[in-house]
């Protein structure tokens, strides 16, 4: 039996993470790989409640420290109740965003101290890290345009372009620093093309 793997999908707004999850699910299913699909922030009842609070822009302004701690509070629940049990059972886990998003949004976007994020990462995750991360990358204007087609914008989506630019640069710098784990997918291409890039990355990973 193949050992359990933890795969994450990352990228800015509207780059197609949610759209491509079903495709990855079908790829893994065709290989008879047992899979748990999940997302962050969220993935458990409590973590989904935290997500609601984080995305709601109608409430009091959230301090950036609060935002960072809420991301990791949700993550701690998610790891304990969903991710770890799944990996321990031998299931693969496919997660829509994980800690790279914290480095990109809170670290890059909000300029928060990276060593604090790293400390929280070690505290909450111990040695848990993704085995593979697909970084869907596109210019921010394109992603925003796609996201806006869906209608009302949440608290993050209402940020200014400069914020998203810093998020994108932070993601690209993670990919540059960790090329073995983080694979960049050109998300400006048609959906068919994006999916064939994803297949090319996943195939050796599945069969290794």
Where would I find the H helices in the chain? 17-29, 45-55, 64-78, 84-89, 99-101, 114-125, 140-148, 161-177, 191-207
Using the rule CB under 6 A, which residue among 5, 6, 8, 17 binds ligand Z5A? 17
Contact partners, residue 26, CB within 8 Å, separation at least 6: none
Q: Closer to ligand Z5A at the Cβ: 4 or 24?
A: 24
Rounded to a whole number of angstroms, the minimum distance from the CB of residue 207 to ligand Z5A is 26
Distances, alpha carbon 194 to alpha carbons 38, 52, 127, 181, in Å: 21, 30, 31, 18
Would you count residue 23 as binding ligand Z5A (CB under 6 A)?
Answer: no
Closer to ligand Z5A by Cβ: residue 77 or 102? 102
Judged by CB under 6 A, the chain residues 152 through 191 that form the site for ligand Z5A are 154, 156-157, 187, 190-191
Residue 78 binds ligand Z5A, judged by CB under 6 A:
no
Contact residues for ligand Z5A, defined by CB under 6 A = 11, 13-19, 40-41, 71, 96-97, 101-102, 105-106, 146-147, 149-150, 154, 156-157, 187, 190-191, 194
């Amino acid at each position: 039996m193949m050992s359990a793997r933890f795969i994450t999908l990352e990228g800015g707004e509207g780059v197609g993470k949610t759209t491509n999850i079903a495709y990855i699910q079908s790829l893994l299913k065709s290989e008879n790989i047992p899979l748990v699909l999940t997302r962050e922030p969220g993935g458990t009842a409590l973590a989904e409640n935290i997500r609601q609070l984080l995305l709601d822009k109608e409430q009091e302004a959230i301090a950036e420290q609060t935002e960072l701690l809420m991301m990791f509070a949700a993550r701690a629940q998610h790891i304990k109740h969903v991710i770890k049990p799944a990996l321990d059972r031998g299931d693969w886990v496919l997660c829509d965003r994980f800690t790279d998003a914290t480095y990109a949004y809170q670290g890059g976007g909000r300029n928060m101290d990276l060593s604090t994020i790293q400390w929280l990462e070690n505290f909450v995750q111990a040695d848990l890290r993704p085995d593979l991360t697909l970084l869907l990358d596109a210019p921010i204007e394109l992603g925003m345009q796609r996201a806006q087609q869906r209608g009302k914008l949440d608290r993050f989506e209402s940020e200014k372009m400069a914020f998203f630019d810093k998020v994108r640069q932070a993601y690209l710098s993670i990919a540059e620093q960790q090329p073995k784990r983080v694979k960049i997918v050109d998300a400006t291409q048609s959906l068919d093309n994006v999916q064939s890039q994803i297949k090319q990355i996943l195939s050796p990973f599945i069969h290794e």
